[in-house]
Structure 1
Amino acid sequence: MWIIYLILALLLLVLTVLPKIQNPHWIFRVPEFAKIQVTYLIAITFMLGFFVDATDHLWYYQGLLIVLFIHHSHILIRYTPIYPVKKHTQRYKSSEKLHFVSANVYQFNKEYSRFSALIDKYNPDFFMTMESNGDWEQALRVMEKEYPYQHKVTLENTYGMHFYSRIKIIEARTHYFVADDIPSIEVHMKTEDGFPFVFFGVHPPPPSPTEEETSKERDGDLLSTAKRVKDIKKPVIVVGDFNNVAWSKSSILFRKTSHLIDPRIGHSFVSTFHARYRLLRFPIDLMFHSEDIFIKQLKTLENFGSDHLPVYCEFFIDHHNDEQEDLVETATSEEKAEAEKIIEEGKEEDGGRDAVVTED
């Protein structure tokens, strides 16, 4: 029992320290994803300590576990309802409520009808798919009568993106910020009651042993989006499979560079991946918004066969409401310089991806 306890305690220490080392290799970045699971495991290991035969060093390790638990909890508590944030009410000058769904469909998922049924059930004003290829585009054509405005980026490399809307699209662009096979979409729309806004969809590659060796492309792509967003003078929402977590240094730098707000703060984790394994589920499908967009509801929906759960959001726009100004954080000059460096490193990185990806 003592050996098991000792191994767990040391492993938890390593998983806590690794993300503190600002190295882009996946070995240092992946442990950031599991902060929720690590925190629970720290608590379990601490309880296990009471059943270990007493040794001279036991309470040193118990003290270490307490410190680790406090460290992780201090960060995670911001993403729970316990953390105090001001609640906002909808004013008469604001827009009507809008709804959207964002979903990484998993390119090799063939259960197209389950996704169509999910869209029919929740009836969003617009929705975005990621990892949608030619087969998915063909399957989603049945939705085009209901959603007559579209912007499509059809790719076979698991980075395709499709956007469908009932709201008229004024302008749509596809950006390739750091690589010519990793798109981001920028869609300008205007509600029927006269409120213009911009939707950004992102899906950068993850750092992992099976995909990108480092987080350079991911972070460069996200911070390029942040720079673009900062210059837009309309209400903005950035949504997608960030392959990142809200508490990572690069996510915080994204938020500060873009001057956007993280709606998870004071709300919940909204964990999406992996859809099939509840205990190993990470909040990597993120969302950020400008101060004149107010989130009424943000949650995951039921699984439709993908490895990600879809995200549902209800929001309204209010140009004349400054209640959220204090939630906006801005980057320092040092952070701006760091962001520029990360963007350049992302552009220089060679992802080495195949043009067409086949399922293993």
Structure 2
Amino acid sequence: MWGIYLFLTALLVLLTILPKIQNAHWIFRVPEFGKIQITYAVVFTFITGLFLTHSQYIWYTQTLLLALFIHHGITLIKYTPLYPVKKHTQRSQSSEKLHFISANVYQFNKEYNRFIELIEKYKPEIFMTMESNGDWEQAMKVLEKDYPFHHKVTLENTYGMHFYSKLEIKSAQTHYFVADDIPSIEVHLKTKDGFSFVFFGVHPPPPSPTEEETSKERDGDLLSAAKRVRDLKDPVIVVGDFNNVAWSKSSVLFRKTSHLIDPRIGHSFVSTFHAKYLLLRFPIDLMFHSEDIFIKELKTLENFGSDHLPVYCEFFIDHHNDEQEDEVEEATTEEKAEAEEMIQEGKEEDGNRDAIVTEG
């Protein structure tokens, strides 16, 4: 038992240290995703140590575990209701409440009807799908009678994106920031009560042993989107499968570069992946918004057969409410230079993806 305890302690120390090393290889980046699980494992190991009394060195390792818990806890507590944030009320000058669903449908998921039933149940004004290919596009045609406005990027490489809206689309474009097979979408919308805003959808590739060896393309794509968003004049929402967690260095750089707000802070993690394994579920489908947009509700919905849970959001727009101004952080000169370097590295990285991907 003592040997297992020491092994777990050493492993947890290693998994804590690896993300601190600024190396883009997936070995260093993947442990960032598991910070919640690592914290639970630290607590479990610490409790186990309370029952081990035969070693005189037990309190050295217990103290180390306590330090690990404090280290992770300082970051994670920001994404819980224990962290104090202002509560915002809807005023008469604001827009009507709006709703969207963002869902990585998993390209090889054939349960199209379950997703269609989800949309029909919650009736969001707008929704976006990721990993949606030609088969998904064909299946979703039944929704076009209720969602007459759309912007489609149909790909078979697991990076297709489809956007559907009941609201008028004033303009829409597809960006390819770091690679010609990794799209981001920018959709300018107008509400029925006259409010304009921008919906920005992203889905960069993840660093992993089965996909991209490094995080360079992911980080370069996200920070390119951040620069584009920063120049937009209308209120903006950025949503998608970031293949990243909110506390990673590149996510923090994204937030500061874009001048956007993370609505998870002070509320919840909103963990989405993997949909089938509760204990191995990470919050990688993220959302950020500008200070004129106020979030009423942000949560996951029921599984429809994908490996991601869909994200549901209720929000409103208010140009006259400045209560969120102090939540906007700006990048320092050093951080801006670092972001530019990461963008360049992302453009130079060769992802070597197939144009058509089959399940295997």
1:329 matched to which residue of 2? 329
* SS at 1:187 equivalent: strand
Q: Distance in 1 between matches of 2:57 and 2:291?
A: 51
Matches within 5 A, 1:299-318: 299-318=299-318
The answer (yes or no) to whether the contact 1:103–1:310 under 8 Å persists in 2 is yes
1:298 matched to which residue of 2? 298
Structure 2: tracts of 5 or more residues without a match: none
Output one character per residue of 1:259-296: Cα deviation in whole Å (capped at 9) or x when no partner.
00000000000000000000000000000000000000
Matches within 5 A, 1:190-201: 190-201=190-201
Matches within 5 A, 1:129-140: 129-140=129-140
1:267 matched to which residue of 2? 267
1:100 matched to which residue of 2? 100
**How far 1:320 sits from its partner (Å)?**
1.0
Question: TM-score, with normalisation over the residues of structure 1?
Answer: 1.00
Q: Distance in 2 between matches of 1:289 and 1:50?
A: 44
* SS at 2:50 equivalent: helix
* SS at 1:51 equivalent: coil
> Is residue 64 of structure 2 the alignment partner of residue 64 of structure 1?
yes
Output one character per residue of 1:132-183: Cα deviation in whole Å (capped at 9) or x when no partner.
0000000000000110000000000000000000001000000000000000
Q: Distance in 1 between matches of 2:168 and 2:232?
A: 19
2:283 matched to which residue of 1? 283
**How far 1:103 sits from its partner (Å)?**
0.1
**How far 1:50 sits from its partner (Å)?**
1.4
Output one character per residue of 1:275-321: Cα deviation in whole Å (capped at 9) or x when no partner.
00000000000000000000000000000000000000000000111
> Is residue 182 of structure 2 the alignment partner of residue 179 of structure 1?
no
Q: Distance in 1 between matches of 2:286 and 2:50?
A: 38
Output one character per residue of 1:179-204: Cα deviation in whole Å (capped at 9) or x when no partner.
00000000000101110000000000
Look up the equivalent residue of 2:274 and give its one-letter code: H
> Is residue 155 of structure 2 the alignment partner of residue 155 of structure 1?
yes
1:167 matched to which residue of 2? 167
Look up the equivalent residue of 1:358 and give its one-letter code: T
Look up the equivalent residue of 2:290 and give its one-letter code: S
Structure 1: tracts of 5 or more residues without a match: none
Which deviates more, 93-102 or 44-53?
44-53
**How far 1:54 sits from its partner (Å)?**
2.4
How many residues matched?
A: 360
The percent identity for this pair of structures is 79
1:3 matched to which residue of 2? 3
Q: Distance in 1 between matches of 2:37 and 2:81?
A: 18
* SS at 1:233 equivalent: coil
The answer (yes or no) to whether the contact 1:2–1:53 under 8 Å persists in 2 is no
**How far 1:74 sits from its partner (Å)?**
0.5
Question: TM-score, with normalisation over the residues of structure 2?
Answer: 1.00
**How far 1:56 sits from its partner (Å)?**
2.1
Q: Distance in 2 between matches of 1:211 and 1:139?
A: 27
2:127 matched to which residue of 1? 127
Q: Distance in 1 between matches of 2:161 and 2:57?
A: 54
1:215 matched to which residue of 2? 215
Look up the equivalent residue of 2:35 and give its one-letter code: K
Q: Distance in 2 between matches of 1:137 and 1:51?
A: 57
Matches within 5 A, 1:75-94: 75-94=75-94
1:30 matched to which residue of 2? 30
Output one character per residue of 1:88-115: Cα deviation in whole Å (capped at 9) or x when no partner.
0001000000000000000000000000
Q: Distance in 2 between matches of 1:201 and 1:52?
A: 51
RMSD across aligned C-alpha pairs, in angstroms?
0.4
Q: Distance in 1 between matches of 2:62 and 2:248?
A: 27
Q: Distance in 2 between matches of 1:50 and 1:40?
A: 16
Deviating beyond 2 angstroms after TM superposition, the runs of 4 or more aligned structure 1 residues are none
* SS at 2:298 equivalent: strand
Matches within 5 A, 1:221-232: 221-232=221-232
Output one character per residue of 1:19-74: Cα deviation in whole Å (capped at 9) or x when no partner.
00010000000000000000000000000001224212111100000000000000
The answer (yes or no) to whether the contact 1:294–1:316 under 8 Å persists in 2 is yes
